[in-house]
A and B are shown apart, each in its own frame.
Chain A
Amino acid sequence: MEFAFPEYNLRLMAPEIFLFLWALLIIAYDVLTKRKSETTAGYLALAGLMITGLILGFTGTGHGFGNMFVSDTAAKFFKIIFLGSAFMAIGSSFGIMREKIVNHRGEFYGLILFSTVGMMFLSSSNELLSLYIGLELTTIPLFVLAAFFKDDKLSVEAGIKYFIVGAFSSALLLYGISFLYGLSGTTDLVQMKINIAITHLTFQNIGVILILAIVLVVAGIGFKLSLPPFHQWVPDVYQGSPTPVAAFLSVGSKAAGLIAFAKIFVNGLFAFHHPDMAPNDWGRLVALLAVAAMILGNTVAIRQTNIKRMLGYSSIAQVGYIMIGIVAMNALGMAAMGFYIFAYMFANMGAFAAVAIVEDKTGSCEISTYSGLARTSPLLSATFAVFLLSLAGIPPLAGFMAKFYIFAAGIQAAQHDPGLYWMYWLVGIALLTTVFAIYYYANIIKQMYFAKEPSPHKVTYNFPALTVLLIGLAGLFVFGIYPEPVLHFASGIASSFGIIP
């Protein structure tokens, strides 16, 4: 039998390989030195992420491993987001490292890096199985990280909840993937796109199996993306898990779910977006879930008293906005999706970093703790306010530009295609729910700035956490005023998925 070697192109995988080895190194270092230093492992992890970013910059584009591994603009863009969110999560974790996690510092950083490696593999996968493995490698370390405070009931509960929900959603996703494989006879996404389209054209109707596949995959990835009705785990897990882990979950893990979603639906089921394909269309289904996410996330967030729960519901709502970009299925939509998650990374990681700083000082995540904080800790309050305003979408900040592009993409899709007239409704509801969002974000700013009594707490900063705050601040202002370079980069996502502008 003739055995043909696939073209490996190992150099395309250099960032992942390096980061994986670096994670092993950090764990080994921590075990060998018997955890004498409380910060070295953390700085090592930050350095590793920066070096990986540099390697990623020098890595070219192309295919490897017999088309299973692809390095294109979409993959690179999302890898930058994963590295950035891991960087900011680790940066904001030095406080809990000093106080709470004494025995397992190396493991903590190692697991975050492993999860990042999984996300990077996921964003490079061009095929259903490697995509699934990437998603597993992303979530399994996160189960452990969510339960990292072993003596804290809430943290253990968060870990168990996330584990059960994660395992269940993986099973659903795998079931859906098996249907897609059964329909197309291939796991390669591009080949799948062609095969399913040919089957559809040959028989004029592909049958109900595709609906089943679509529903199962939407449910499987919907759990990771926390789209309602698959969102119930989010507030509990965010509240219980260590704050940097919650931050990483809300940005890194969500971006991973997003790229997996985009790969399967935008690329693989390209032809089945439009209502003309009814009942085998996924566009309206996802739009419905996006509406549910925006309404539910934004309204329930108003009632929260714990800031991590509130940010959890707000992140549910943010995913709803991002989904508009995906449902629009045009070049601007893909670019807007990329830009949105980019801006969201700065704002949300920054907000969680601020929460972590306050939690380190006060030990509390209640919103009432923030009352009068502006008088004692002006820098923290100002940056936190900026992050919240960006999440709400207030003009000079990147969050506004992100929302603007998302809504523009939705309107553009509705104008160009009479079959997508309901996109007007989608954008309308998004605009309306944004108003709710401003209420609960502004409520915290009100607590910080307009309370009668000054806060009894005065926060102290450690250097990495302060850096994270400043990175977030700089990112929001720079890319809010001058979004072109990122948007230009993100517009390459569309062509990675075969959408021609």
Chain B
Amino acid sequence: MEGTANSMSEYLSVLIFIFVGIGSVLFTFFLSRLIRPHNPYKEKSIPYECAELPIGDSWFKFNNRFYIFALMFVIFDVEVVFLFPWAVAFGELGLFALVEMIIFILILFFGLFYAWRKGALKWV
């Protein structure tokens, strides 16, 4: 347990890192505020500055169909996140990892199959 002091200083560096991280963002904002020109007008503050004219407010109720699609997207998005470390370590892990990952993907595909059969992929 002689490493106690050491491990504390390791956490201290994390703390410093957090402060430096927040500080650098604030500093950049402050710096850009100093040197940029400040001239807002109506056309500049609409969402699509170039061509598209917005219709109505952006704060309205979205169709909750989007929710299901977003959910399905997140599932496969997270799957890819898991695939990356697997791909990096694949050389050392070999065949067993391949089988494991296939099982993982098959389970997720079962979810897709389920959603498809339930009609969640149809836009009503």
Interface string of B1-45 (1 = CB under 8 A from A): 100000000000000000000000000000000000000000000
* Contact yes or no, B1 A31, CB < 8 A: no
* Contact yes or no, A202 B1, CB < 8 A: yes
A interface with B by C-beta (< 8 Å): 1, 3, 5, 8, 24, 27-28, 31-32, 199, 202-203
Which A-B residue pairs are the 3 nearest by beta carbons?
A31-B117, A3-B92, A24-B110
* Contact yes or no, B93 A3, CB < 8 A: yes
Contacts of B114 in A (CB 8 A): 27-28, 31
B113 contacts the other chain (CB 8 A): yes
Knowing A24-B110, A199-B1, the reply to whether A31 touches B92 (Cβ < 8 A) is no
* Contact yes or no, B1 A28, CB < 8 A: no
Interface string of B84-124 (1 = CB under 8 A from A): 00000000110010000000000100100110011000000
User: What total of chain B residues lie within 8 Å of the partner, measured CB to CB?
Assistant: 10
**A330 vs chain B, min Cβ distance (A):** 31
**A85 vs chain B, min Cβ distance (A):** 25
Which of B96, B107, B114 lies at the interface centre, i.e. has the most chain A CB atoms within 10 A of its CB? Answer: B114
Docked Cα-Cα span, A218 to B96, in Å, equals 39
Docked Cα-Cα span, A202 to B96, in Å, equals 43
**B28 vs chain A, min Cβ distance (A):** 33
Docked Cα-Cα span, A32 to B114, in Å, equals 9
Contacts of A1 in B (CB 8 A): 92
Docked Cα-Cα span, A5 to B94, in Å, equals 11
Docked Cα-Cα span, A27 to B113, in Å, equals 11
Instruction: Please list 18 pairs of residues, one from A and one from B, whose beta carbons are closer than 8 Å in the complex, sorted by A's number.
Output: A1-B92, A3-B92, A3-B93, A5-B96, A8-B96, A24-B107, A24-B110, A27-B114, A28-B110, A28-B113, A28-B114, A31-B114, A31-B117, A31-B118, A32-B117, A199-B1, A202-B1, A203-B1
Contacts of A8 in B (CB 8 A): 96
**B82 vs chain A, min Cβ distance (A):** 15
Contacts of B118 in A (CB 8 A): 31
Contacts of B96 in A (CB 8 A): 5, 8
**CB-nearest residue of chain A relative to B110?**
A24
**B101 vs chain A, min Cβ distance (A):** 15
